[in-house]
Structure formats: C-alpha cells, structure tokens
Structure 1
Amino acid sequence: MARLDASDGTGTNMSHRIGIIVNPDAGLGGRLALKGSDGQAELARSKGADDRSGPRMTESLEHLNSIISITLGPWTEVEWCLMDGRMGASWIPKPLREIGLWNIIAETPQNTTAHDTTAAVHTMIEHHVDMILYAVGDGTTRDIVNALMEIDASETPILGVPAGVKMHSGCFGASPRASAEALAAWITGDLLLARTEVMDLDEDLYRGGEWVVRMYGEANTPGSPRWMQGSKQRVERVSETEILEGLGDHIQETIEENPDMLVIWGSGGTLRTLGDGIGYSISVLGIDATRGTKQIGTDLDETGLIETINSHKILFGEESEILLLLSPMGGQGFLIGRGNLQLSPDVLRSIGIDAILGVVTPAKLATLNSLRIDTGDAELDAEFRERKYLKALQGY
C-alpha cells in the first residue's frame, strides 16, 4: 500500500474515493452477554473475546472483490483511504489491494478511543472521500456522524458493515456481504442515496435491564430495502393483548406436553411478556433457559448456553427436544444477529435450525418484508437460506 502524505494534493481525478474505518473493539461484548461494547473492551478481551469488527470488514471486502471480478465498473479508478493497523489496513484482503489505489492516511494507536474515530473522519474529509465504509456498531456510528457534523460534512454518505452488539440505525447493511453489494451498486451507479435515522440504545441503562432507544440524527446512505437493514422500530399495539395471551397459551401447552423439553428464550419484549404470563422471569435483554416449570438459566452468555445445552443432552439424550424461541426485530426483521450475539454459530448448530420458532404479533409482522438471519458464519447463513422458510407463530 502506498502512503499518502496528508499535506499532498487531494484533487486527483479518481471516480470514487472511499474511506474505511474499523472500530477494533466493536462487538466484543456480544457473545459474553455484556449488552454492548462501549467501555467494555478491556473486560471483554480479558474474558477471551475474539475480534468481530475486523473479520466482518474482511468478509465484506472479500465479497466485494468477488463482485468486482464479474462486474463492469470503474474499479481500477477507486481510491481507498484508510488507517494503518487494526483500524483499517489489517483487515483488507490481499487480492483487493491490487485493485485501485490504496492510501494510508494515519496510524492506528495502540489503544483506540472515540477520539481516534473522530480524527480519522476529519482526515478523510480533508482527502475528499465520497463515502465512508465502516465496521462498527451504533455507538461508533454516532461518533462518525458527530464528527461529520463538526466540520460541516454531514452530507457525506456512510455505509456500515454490521459489527456491533446491537444495531438500530438504518445505515448498516443487512450483513457484511449485503454491505458489499450496496457499496458496489452505489459505485456503479445502480443505487441512489437515501436519508436514514441514526439511533442508539443507552448501554448503561441497557445493562440494567432498561431499553431506551433514541434517535441522534440522520445520515445519507445507499437506499436499498434489499441490502440495507433499515432502522429499528419498536412496535406496540394496545389491542394485541388477546393475541399475546393466545401466543402464551400455545407455548405453555407445548411446554406442558413436553415437560422435559429445553426451551431457550431469545431477547425482546414480546417473549418477556409471554414468559411472564407462563410464570417465568424472562429478561427482556438476555437469553434465558427453562425446562418444564423451572427456569434453569438467566441472561446466559455463549458459554453458559453451550453448557446448558450439553447438560440437557447428557440428561435426556442427544435427540432430546430443544425449542429456541425468537422474536424478530420490528422494522428490520432480524431473528438472529442483532442484540442476541450469544446465539453464536456453535450454539445454533447445537440447537439445530429445525428447533427454531419465530414468535411475532400481526402488528410487528406488518412491518416486515422477510425474516433476516446474520449468524456471522457464511456456511450457516447459507444453510438458513437453503431452507427458505422458518416456522413462525403469530397466534393461537
């Protein structure tokens, strides 16, 4: 990669100039049930958390490279601006480095903070980037948007590779590959920009069990219902009391008919309401486990889930029944990959795809075009796609 002096002229006639930012700490707390990574990176790494944002950027750019190989476009004229090290260059696939011009504009410090993100954004704007591609979560998205506003560059488009624990903003692709598709379509002129909401959940309140999502601004991003996830909607209908009671009755009868069945409860208000009605104490933001009338796990992380599942199989046999209840995110449709990273590929494979049951009210269903899956494992995502359909319960 060539180094570009920050004082050098930046008026070269490139068709597109794309900035790349990776927050190396984004998403670390997901599988550990830390409810976010803001201020939790050191704790997460001490518990053995693996990088998430960097590998997700690599996955996205590998897919972009495959798109480039079969698509006509101004690829050799694209200029990429990025930081050296873990905030950028460390995650660039080698084949892609041979296409276009790659410019290192700064070094990644040993310990990164929001200030480093802001500085990177400001430097990229000095180099007249046309879009910023970034792998982070909602918190760093806010940092990027604020940094753009500080220098009167809020019209600069942004495109997120989903890498955080919870992503409510509409500027993220539905998956790393979807982000690559959106970027490629925008570069080739097949996608226009749209205005979307930048939202975030208060992580301090979130860790205490309170869900407060706020809108912090707007941003330009590629407009594509197919590739972009859209912003999170909280769907509430006072008229759905009877429907929720019916859903609860159905699940309770299923449990009573199968008292040895292990039930894994996903996160969200719908499932908490149903669980409370049955007599459990379901956490709205965590992953819980019940068997029969007993709650055997609360707010489990990835390790806790695997241990619970393995213990169940030892007690009742490898073919013992397991049911994973999941409620899709309103407006986005994600069953897996947003706010429930504890359900890792290893956990999901241990449970089995056939054991998943979506639980969705008609009001929430009306906001969805499809159910979305982003497990973080390309092979497992492909297995879900091959199924085409998942079981979903929307009434008694």
Structure 2
Amino acid sequence: MHVGFVVNPIAGLGGRVGLKGTDGKVAEARARGAEPRAPDRARRSLDALAARVPDATVSTWGAPMGADLARAAGFEPRVVGAPERETSAADTRRAVAAFATAGVDLVLFVGGDGTAADVAEALSAADAGSDTPMLGVPAGVKVYSSVFAVSPEDAAAVAATFTRTEEREVMDIDEDAYREGEVHPELRAVAWVPVAENLQSSKQTGGGSVETLAEGVAADVRGGVTYVLGPGSTLGAVKRALGFEGSPLGVDVWRDGEVIVRDGSEAEILASLDEENVVVVSPIGGQGFVFGRGNPQLSPAVIRRCDLRVVASRAKLDDIGVLRVDTDDPDLDAELRGWTRVRVGRVEQRMMEIV
C-alpha cells in the first residue's frame, strides 16, 4: 500500500479563537493565542494507520506538512519535496502532483474544505492522478465536503481497508461571508473517494419548524445558570426566544437575561463560566455532528465544565439517524458516546445515539 500524505498545518487554527476559519486570518489567529490543531489530528491518523499497516509506503512533503509526523508515527517516509518558508495552498497542490506522479494508491490529507479543493484540483490536473482517490482527515473549522472521514482514526481505517471508490462532492464556502453569518456552499469539485460507511455526508439544511422547540428551551431556563449557546439556525431561534439576536455562526453566552459573551472565543467562553453551566447545541444537518464541525470554540475544556443539551427538529433527526462528536479529545468523545435526549418540541424529546 502506497499513501501520499500531506498536512495543512494551519487548518482549523482560527476556530477556537472565534475566527470561524483561517483563510487570510493566520496572523490574527496567532495573535489571539491560537494553537495548531491539524498536526495532532494528523498524528492520530498516522498512529492508527501504522497500527493497521505498519509496512505501508508513505510519500509526503517536508515538515511541517507531513514528514516529521510520519517519522514520529514510525514510518520511513519518502519526502518528495518541501515548503518554501511559510506553507501555502501551492505547496499542497505541488505535493499532490508529486504523489500522483509517484503512483500512490491514495492521497490522505489533513485539513478543511479549502485543502480538499486544493487536493482535488491537483489530482484533476495531473495526467497520472485523475482517478487517484483522496480522503480527508477533518481538521478545518468548517467541513462541508463529503470526502472526509468522521474522525482521524476512521480515516486510517478506511485507508487501510477500502477496495472500491466512488465520486463524492468537494464543497467550500466564502469565509468572509461566513463570518458575517451567511453560508453559501459552493461545489468546487467531484473527486474519487473510498467507499466506506464512516465517511461524513455533505452538509444539508434540516427542515421543520423550531419555534416551539425554542420556546420550550426558553421556558426551562433557570436563574443563576450560565447557558452556552452554539451556532446555527436552530440555536438562533433559541436566542430570539430568550430575547436577543445572537451571532448566527458564533457561540453566545447568556445568564439571567443578559448576554455575557457574544460570538466568543474558547478563552472568552471559559472566562464566563460559573458554578452551573449548560451548553446547548444542535447537530449539523446531513452530518449529525454536535461537536467538532463549525463550533471549535466549544473545546473539550468548555464541554467538560457544562451539562449538555441537544436540540433539533424532527426532520433533521430523521435525516441524520445518529449523532456524532469529534472534539480533538478521544477520551471525551468516548465519554459523550451513548444515548442522549434531544428536545424536538416544546416538551417533546427523542432518544438519539451519539456514535
């Protein structure tokens, strides 16, 4: 088995500091104290791959885009090139072109939707790589495309076992518009991807009214409790029911009738928490993620200090089937898995499994 492995080391960098993406915001993210997310997720995937296929051939790009991580996982990688000074999307495309020339069986990449688009573009342009499959280890803030595995470990499992491929969508959005609360996914490419169950779907919009659901949440709030309200249209309705217009794609903190934090970063959210805290989230339509997609401000440190409440329309739950988590903390993911109650109306609830 021959894998081409490349990491976008800045993918997801702006998430926990509230920037909702990294495009054009690397310096600002670092100034806010952002910590890299992609390298750790890359290492998790490589460790899992090494456990399954220790004799795999790994071609990769120079540090920090893969070579150092591959060696740390126990591989002796073929380093086919290296970035010049700061890494860039051009480095990703050059790496993938080199992988195609080397005849890899799979391009395994770590990043978000923008990285997926770069990989797909490079494979399409390569004479030898147009039918080479790609698979993503999710590390971006927004992960709308259906070319990603559910988790880093799932990516390794798929890479090690797949026997067939199929065409799937690469989606991306305008991050500047996203920061203003507008989401306009755009189809960037169609790429060959391994056929597997543990891949995520493209993000879809869930249907159904949420007004009564929001009224139920508002009716149940208790004095002295800090409510951490996640992003999305369902939580937008909850925020309006509480009497304020929240940040549509950010995390807001509310307590005793007052907005404590608007569109907060991880640090701001943590600073606002008190003795009793509740985090309210809604799964992403079509995917089912309650943590790990679009809300990295809700970090493991935040989640561990809060009780969890999940809300969603019936139509959204019918569409997704199960809930998912991908918090960057495998131990926390394991703790969260199992059956949980999801509010679907003013008083109605449904049991859903977090897998």
Normalising TM by the smaller chain, what interval? over 0.9
Q: Does 1:326 align with 2:281?
A: yes
Question: Does the 8 Å contact 2:92/2:118 carry over to 1?
Answer: yes
**What does residue 66 of structure 1 align with?**
51
**Which of 104, 108, 115 does residue 133 from structure 1 map onto?**
108
User: 2:46, 2:73 within 8 Å by CA — same for their partners in 1?
Assistant: no
Aligned match for 2:142, one of 149, 163, 166: 166
Aligned to 1:12: none
In 2: Cα distance, 1:22 partner to 1:193 partner: 22
User: Which structure is larger by alpha-carbon Rg, 1 or 2?
Assistant: 1
One-letter identity of the residue aligned with 1:170: S
Q: Which amino acid aligns with 1:247?
A: L
Which aligned pairs between 1:1-396 and structure 2 lie closer than 5 A? 16-68=1-53, 76=55, 78-92=56-70, 94=72, 96-97=74-75, 102-152=77-127, 153-186=129-162, 189=163, 192-225=164-197, 227-236=198-207, 240-241=208-209, 244-255=210-221, 258-309=222-273, 312-313=274-275, 320=276, 322-351=277-306, 355-385=307-337, 388-396=338-346
Q: CA deviation at 1:380?
A: 1.0
SS in 1 for 2:220: helix
Unaligned stretches of 5+ residues in structure 1: 1-15, 69-74, 314-319
Deviations for 1:69-120, whole angstroms, at most 9, x for unmatched residues?
xxxxxx53x321111210111112545316xxx3111123220111111111
Letter in 2 for 1:85: A
Shift in Å, 1:180 = 1.0
Q: Could you say what secondary structure the match of 2:3 adopts?
A: strand
Aligned residue type for 1:17? H
Verify the 8 A CA contact 1:61 1:93 in the aligned structure 2.
Answer: no
Q: Report how far residue 67 of structure 1 moved.
A: 2.9
Give 1:278's aligned amino acid. Answer: L
Shift of 1:169: 0.4
1:34 offset after TM fit, Å?
Answer: 0.5
Structure with the bigger percentage of helix = 1
Question: Are 1:22 and 1:87, in contact at CA under 8 Å, matched by a contact in 2?
Answer: yes
Asked if 1 retains the 8 angstrom alpha-carbon contact of 2:58 and 2:75, the reply is: no
The CA distance in 1 between the partners of 2:93 and 2:265, in whole Å, is 32
State how far apart, in whole Å, the 1-side matches of 2:340 and 2:74 are. Answer: 36
Instruction: State the one-letter code of the partner of 1:118.
Output: R
**What displacement does 1:359 show?**
0.6
In the TM superposition, residue 271 of structure 1 has moved relative to its aligned partner by 0.9
Displacement of 1:122 after TM fit?
Answer: 1.2
Taking the aligned partners of 1:166 and 1:129, their CA distance within structure 2 comes to 27
**Matched residues, percent identical?**
37
Distance in 2, Cα, partners of 1:331 & 1:365: 9
Range with greater deviation from structure 2 (337-346 or 120-129) = 120-129
User: What is the SS of the residue equivalent to 1:390?
Assistant: strand
Q: Give TM-score, length-normalised by structure 2.
A: 0.93
